[in-house]
Amino acid sequence: MILAIADVLSAADVAEVHADLAAATFVDGKATAGWSAKLVKANLQAADGPELERVRTLVEARLAEHAVFALATRPKTILGPIFSRYEPGHAYGTHVDDALMGGVRTDVSFTLFLSAPESYDGGELVIESAAGEDAFKLGPGSVLTYPSTTLHRVAPVTRGRRLAAVGWVRSYIRDPAHRELLFELETARRRLFEREGKTADGDLLAKCAANLQRMWCED
């Protein structure tokens, strides 16, 4: 499931992230790429330091408290995020994310967009599927989640500067189809509750959702 989630970071959060990243040191992004991805990766990444620690803590907190992100990814572990900067001429060619990072399986990848779409040209996140390609360029503070199994790329930036953070989730629900079914079931259950309050039908849906989690969960 590919899901765009708006306003995970507020405007104030985004401003704080930009201020900290302006003080951070950026290095060649190839340093964190695998042997194959190194051939197609051209960007800059923020190096570890006090500024990066503050911004990483902020982003992790906002992701952890966001209900839709939690329902979509069912996170057991959140890895990263890594903060990247793309300037004119930078791009990240077609690649698949590593299956293991630091000994942790990656199930869901996410990109947090930090730059206004009109402030740069190019830089779309392009995700491949059997149906073709989908390109995404979201507003600052918005997150796109997508299966880590997909081939994807960042289109070349031709003007301006693209700031983004990427990370990964080790999910309690390993199968992407199961995650999508649970997300849709829980969304429908909550909408029913908001409309009608606690009902017998809602209780039955809650039972189904809980028992499906028991069947599919890896704790």
What does the alpha-carbon distance between residue 74 and residue 169 come to, in Å, rounded to a whole number?
8
**Do 51 and 67 fall into the same domain?**
yes
| Tokens matching residue 46 | 């923020």
Same domain? For 27 and 124 the reply is yes
- Cis ω before 50 (30° cut-off from 0): no
Q: What is the mean pLDDT of each run of 10 residues along the chain (219 residues)?
A: 97 97 94 82 94 94 96 96 97 96 96 98 96 96 98 98 98 97 96 96 96 96
Task: Assess whether 185 and 105 both reside in one domain.
Answer: no
Q: Count the domains in the chain.
A: 2
Q: Which of 61, 28, 146 is nearest to 96 (CA)?
A: 146
Q: Could you tell me the maximum CA-CA distance found in the chain, to the nearest angstrom?
A: 58
Prediction pTM value: 0.94
Residue 106 and residue 100 in contact, taking contact as beta carbons nearer than 8 Å? yes
Domain span holding position 211: 176-216
Q: Are residues 196 and 111 in the same domain?
A: no
Pair 82, 119 in one domain:
yes
> Residue 2: what pLDDT?
97
Residue 36 has what pLDDT? 80
- pLDDT at 31 (0 to 100): 81
**Structure confidence at residue 34 (pLDDT):** 74
Return d(Cα 184, Cα 101) in angstroms, integer. Answer: 29
